[in-house]
Structure 1
């Protein structure tokens, strides 16, 4: 932990494999570790800010990107949320994503990516162990070298609403 800011020490930068699987190459800009801050909220909860780290990895031999995410309270460094999973881009510009969250929620998402504009749009197809969450949408985009994302969520009592947004810099 970085005692001054209550954030975990930076993870070592991951190297990009010498050979990328052709299906992963259009999303190679994601590979590595990203860190920054985000803001969250929902009509039924108080707004909050958080620190965050995303890590995207690729072994080179399969059309899969490994994904991990962790967040922490900015003032104390106390862990807040974590998730991990796999992203499977296809040559036709579609992508399949599975994510397991520390809350017990499991997501299966499908979407599209635009390699030229560096935008990924995901929509939940299935949510497992979700007693209240009905739908999740995620949009990732590279903006001026920052990985920015927005997450919208719908619950049993609320339609799709903004939930999270962040801007992360590559380490």
Structure 2
């Protein structure tokens, strides 16, 4: 972890997240078949006391190459006093999750405080996310309550930090996310 002079002091407890992370994981839910995915997550900061967050998941073809986009997320993570954090995560399916949680050394655990959705979005009522730095890799897990199901595992991955030059462009013209995910 590198602390740069432009890093606001409020971000020091979450500075381990900064950078481009890529890897693979598993996605599934009681309403969908389990499958493997590739992912890129970018945590950055724009000078304020918050992190920007971008995530893109895509199918993995049999040859290991990237397939269609499964979903994208964007948001802001805002460290607060006393090792707490607030996060806003927006999904293109019409769901906005507002999280509150705790920051521990190299680990963040958050639960939804509010879930808002558009009229056309599928039912979604709660989320729980866990992020941790393990052996230099970013591991994360996401449980959600949606589509009439209780809080259940939905997705998890292990990501490695890569140089910013290796980041995959997150094009605004990617295929739409799949329904039911």
Q: Normalising by the residue count of structure 2, what TM-score does the alignment of the two structures yield? A: 0.80
Alpha-carbon RMSD: 1.5
> Cα offset for 1:154?
1.1
Gaps of at least 5 residues in structure 2 are 163-181
Task: Tell me what 1:22 maps to.
Answer: 9
In 2, the alpha carbon distance for the partners of 1:80 and 1:45 equals 13
Provide the TM-score with structure 1 as the length reference: 0.85
Query: What are the equivalent positions in structure 2 for 1:19-168 lying under 5 Å apart?
Result: 19-60=6-47, 62-75=48-61, 76-114=66-104, 116=105, 118-129=106-117, 131-155=122-146, 157-168=148-159
Structure 1, residues 54-78: CA drift from partner, whole Å, max 9, x if none?
0000133x21100000011111521
Q: How many residues align?
A: 154
| Cα distance per residue 1:142-162 (max 9 Å; x no partner) | 111110001111125221111
Give ranges in structure 1 of 5+ residues lacking alignment: 1-14
What is aligned with 2:165?
A: none
Q: Which runs of 4+ in 1 moved over 3 A?
A: none
**In 1: Cα distance, 2:116 partner to 2:151 partner:** 18
